[in-house]
Structure 1
Amino acid sequence: MGKILLETKHLSKKFCRDPKLSLRYTIADIFWEFRRKPEGENRLRPGEFWSVYDVNLQLRAGEVLGLIGHNGAGKSTLINLITGILRPTLGQVRWYTNRVIMIDSQAGLNAFQTGRENIYNLLSMYGVGENIVKNKINDIIDYSGIQTFIDSPVGTYSTGMRLRLAFSIYTQLKPDVFIIDEALGGGDIRFQQRFQNYLREYIKNGGSILVVSHEMYQIKSLCHRVILFDRGQVYDSGEPDEIIYTYNELMLAKENNSNSSTPTIPISQSAEPTNEDLVPGEKLGLVEIESVEVTAVDAKEITPGCKVKFQMTYNSQLDDYPVIVCFSLGKDELFPMAMMNGKYGEEYYKLKKGRNQFCCFVDKIPLLPGKYQLKIAILEYGNYDILGIKGYQDKPFYFEVKGYNDLELNFARSYKYLFYIPTEWE
């Protein structure tokens, strides 16, 4: 990695829950700032809490740093401190570059101005001359794909349209750091793919990204390093796979602690869960997906167009229970590319209690050579509550298609929408 671009030292921020006390504390802090010292005290007064506490991090040139954590963990407060929107109570934020761009759900656009006006204002704010903007504005509009709405107020745009316009503007700039706060999931699948391809090229050329997202596959795909935030503090940091696993374990522990406060008996300690005992929305984990194997039926290796068997091993606490099984296929750059559903509509399968296997066959797999990831979900028939899931926020299953490209399979590369693969289930 290159030189340090961003550094925080013992960064902390406290707030007060009581509005009246908050006003009193603010007046007192202003008074003592003039009398004593500009930095706040490392103590909490009645009604106060630490939203961010003692955070030390570094972002280097060419690095992608991810921030993950549950809602309310303090990620947004940290971003506001880093960007200067909030003033820290303690600690420091040190930037070693002034070429920084932030993209959030509002995309940094003025809702009362038109898309065209926002192009002029944003580019001029980042130092692009008016003549250059005039020469590039038609290309920016065409690239955004919102020509019909470019002279309408941005407040009338959907989230995806705002992100597409902002993305088109920011591609004209060459910042040292992108700060992306929950903006990777906006827009349609083609926009997301284009955005992530641009970011990969940007990283390859030495750019840095600080990204906040709840989409774990995006964190895994983009980030070199991940920080897990909990209760305003750094809970853990390290490689994406390791921290995502820790995040899932932490969320599971929090959920178990929350459920233990209720008088109900956990399913694992009850005699046998019956269909009548199940509460909608609280069924996740009743089916554990242990493993998945993807093998060629009539050959040693999976090649384009061959017959493939998908076999899943699961352990169910439910017996004679109607379900729908879903497989999702994709790549790190684009997910999902395809889906396979075991029966649909009025048809369904029934789970057997205990450890069992479930398999399906694809007669001619329409995939080009490459490494693919597989994610699985078992849904309750009727209301689609998740009973078991694997690979979405933990490690996905990978399999590889080998061989040479086949002209008959080119549609798999050019097909840009979600499609369904016909399968035979048993």
Structure 2
Amino acid sequence: MIKLSNKEITVQPQNTEVVVSVENVSKKFCRDLKRSLVYGVQDIATELVAANRKGDTLRPKEFWALKDVSFQLRRGEALALIGSNGAGKSTLLRIISSLIKPDAGCARIRGRLAPLIALGAGFNPILTGRENIYANMSILGLSTKKIDERLQDVIDFAEISYAIDAPVQTYSSGMAARLGFACAVHIEPDILLIDEVLAVGDIKFRMKCHRRLAKLREQGTAFILVSHNPAAILNVCDSAAYLSQGKLIATGSVDSVVQKYEEDLNLSSAEKSVGQIFLPKKPESESTGIDIVSLCFKDEQGNVMETLLSGETASLCVECKAYREIAKANLCVTVTAIGGERERIFYLTSGSDNEDLKVLPGKVELQMYMPFCCLSAGVYSAKIFIKEGAYSFDAVESFRFTVKANNAAHESLFYQPRQWKIINS
């Protein structure tokens, strides 16, 4: 508090200013199109006569996309919205950006807002890129004079100067997305809503986008980020909110909220993630030479592991039945993350490591020994197959397993084996 000329002025730190306040927001939708149209007409008529819409109750065929969601975002903060598909994340962003109205509660915005939800979706395809810049940035709140000042910066950032005076309908989807991103970030907004749009263009352009976003945040711009990319969440955001079936489950630090989300994800997949699986036996007449009998992970004592732990030792064990000698068997393992974009995590083969596995007739167990499990917490699917050269003997398309992490490893995208040293001069 500062006293000046007998007047007391309270000075608030910049980061305490609330720029987004969501208070008990609820939104419902109808699964039946005809009934939805009827409800729409009824709601309009109710508003015209200033009657009570009863937005807090469900009518037949309706469901809650959001129910009693509340949180605040302060200047310069970055909030991650996480949850599975259909959790209500995009619906919440559309309410905050005033694209749709909530049925109950309210969302208060303080400052200029730029929604990066569907880049280029609002462009007029008949107008040129230059004309669309003026139209788009005017809608986002800039005067013509300010657009004139920033026009060349937008064009240079989007890297489409060669086509800026061509109609947008001649642009590729990537060109239109780059132009939409450039328009949004150059209005220098107070709040940015980012919905899975940071995969714009090639890697060089994406790096430029991240640098621009970092600069905006240094200037006090607040972010709300929806992403299934752990790197974006961990590296950009300092807090998170977890939504499930329209309800706010948890808010707080990124680490604690992501851990809660992953625990729920693991529990929901528990019935499909088992410690060991056994494959149906084949008669020798149907075998191609070697058949996979069972799959599991084992610890150093040879015990079957129900779940793996980041940083701990584990062996992937592939029990087989061989009907002939195979001089150079090649064990191949592809691991994919379950959920999000189902991205491939790694592809490993004994052949690429110059390890020729000699298999003799009878029962045999092929192992991939991992001194450290480097996967972060989550649910994964492994595809395992056995080859010799280009010829495949047998394959298992999906072996699900779960990885857990202790608190020390949870904030990382993978476990890094390490040693700490100090060298005294």
**TM range, smaller chain:** 0.5 to 0.7
Q: Tell me what 2:206 maps to.
A: 192
2:327 aligned with 1:314: no
User: Among 176, 183, 189, which residue is 2:197 paired with?
Assistant: 183
Q: Distance in 2 between matches of 1:267 and 1:126?
A: 51
Decide whether aligned partners of structure 1 residues 213 and 155 sit closer, same or farther in structure 2, where only a CA change above 3 A counts: farther
Q: Distance in 2 between matches of 1:217 and 1:71?
A: 18
User: Among 58, 65, 70, which residue is 1:44 paired with?
Assistant: 58
2:100 aligned with 1:93: no
Deviations 1:285-324 (A, max 9, x none): 99965445xxxxxxxxxxxxxxxxxxx8324253468225
- The question of whether the paired residues in 2 share the 8 Å contact of 1:324 and 1:349 is answered with no
Deviations 1:63-82 (A, max 9, x none): 11110111111111111111
- The question of whether the paired residues in 2 share the 8 Å contact of 1:286 and 1:318 is answered with no
Q: Tell me what 1:13 maps to.
A: 27
2:130 aligned with 1:121: no
Further displaced range: 137-146 or 214-223:
137-146
User: Among 201, 219, 230, which residue is 2:244 paired with?
Assistant: 230
The Cα of 1:102 is off from its aligned counterpart by 0.7
Structure 2 residue runs without a partner (length 5+) = 1-14, 282-290, 296-303, 321-329, 336-342, 358-363, 386-391, 404-408
Q: Distance in 2 between matches of 1:317 and 1:374?
A: 17
The Cα of 1:17 is off from its aligned counterpart by 1.3
Decide whether aligned partners of structure 1 residues 354 and 4 sit closer, same or farther in structure 2, where only a CA change above 3 A counts: same
2:415 aligned with 1:397: yes
- The question of whether the paired residues in 2 share the 8 Å contact of 1:74 and 1:232 is answered with yes
Q: Distance in 2 between matches of 1:179 and 1:170?
A: 10
- The question of whether the paired residues in 2 share the 8 Å contact of 1:375 and 1:392 is answered with yes
* Superposition RMSD in Å: 4.3
Name the amino acid aligned to 2:414: P
Deviations 1:13-35 (A, max 9, x none): 11111223223333333344455
Q: Distance in 1 between matches of 2:187 and 2:146?
A: 12
Aligned length: 349
- The question of whether the paired residues in 1 share the 8 Å contact of 2:119 and 2:181 is answered with no
Q: Tell me what 2:332 maps to.
A: 323
User: Among 55, 58, 77, which residue is 2:69 paired with?
Assistant: 55
Task: Give the SS at the match of 1:318.
Answer: strand
- The question of whether the paired residues in 1 share the 8 Å contact of 2:318 and 2:366 is answered with yes
Task: Give the SS at the match of 1:237.
Answer: strand
Q: Distance in 1 between matches of 2:36 and 2:306?
A: 48
The Cα of 1:157 is off from its aligned counterpart by 3.7
User: Among 246, 269, 275, which residue is 1:268 paired with?
Assistant: 275
The Cα of 1:85 is off from its aligned counterpart by 1.4
Q: Tell me what 1:106 maps to.
A: 119
Match runs of 1:70-219 below 5 Å: 70-97=84-111, 99-107=112-120, 109-110=122-123, 112=125, 113-130=127-144, 132-134=146-148, 136-219=150-233
Decide whether aligned partners of structure 1 residues 225 and 78 sit closer, same or farther in structure 2, where only a CA change above 3 A counts: same
Name the amino acid aligned to 2:332: V
- The question of whether the paired residues in 1 share the 8 Å contact of 2:130 and 2:165 is answered with yes
Name the amino acid aligned to 2:163: F
The Cα of 1:276 is off from its aligned counterpart by 5.4
Decide whether aligned partners of structure 1 residues 349 and 69 sit closer, same or farther in structure 2, where only a CA change above 3 A counts: farther
Decide whether aligned partners of structure 1 residues 41 and 354 sit closer, same or farther in structure 2, where only a CA change above 3 A counts: same
The Cα of 1:267 is off from its aligned counterpart by 4.2
- The question of whether the paired residues in 1 share the 8 Å contact of 2:82 and 2:241 is answered with yes
Q: Distance in 2 between matches of 1:193 and 1:131?
A: 30
The Cα of 1:4 is off from its aligned counterpart by 0.7
- The question of whether the paired residues in 2 share the 8 Å contact of 1:115 and 1:149 is answered with yes
Name the amino acid aligned to 2:114: I
Q: Tell me what 1:248 maps to.
A: 262
The Cα of 1:397 is off from its aligned counterpart by 2.5
Q: Distance in 2 between matches of 1:18 and 1:131?
A: 47
Asked which structure has the greater CA Rg, the reply is: 2
Decide whether aligned partners of structure 1 residues 220 and 177 sit closer, same or farther in structure 2, where only a CA change above 3 A counts: same
Q: Distance in 2 between matches of 1:217 and 1:123?
A: 30
Deviations 1:66-118 (A, max 9, x none): 10111111111111111111121111111222x11111233454150332222
Q: Tell me what 1:413 maps to.
A: none
Deviations 1:221-247 (A, max 9, x none): 111111111101111122112222222
Decide whether aligned partners of structure 1 residues 140 and 26 sit closer, same or farther in structure 2, where only a CA change above 3 A counts: closer
Q: Distance in 2 between matches of 1:354 and 1:3?
A: 57
Q: Distance in 2 between matches of 1:255 and 1:393?
A: 22
The Cα of 1:171 is off from its aligned counterpart by 3.8
Name the amino acid aligned to 1:20: K
Task: Give the SS at the match of 1:193.
Answer: helix
Q: Tell me what 2:300 maps to.
A: none
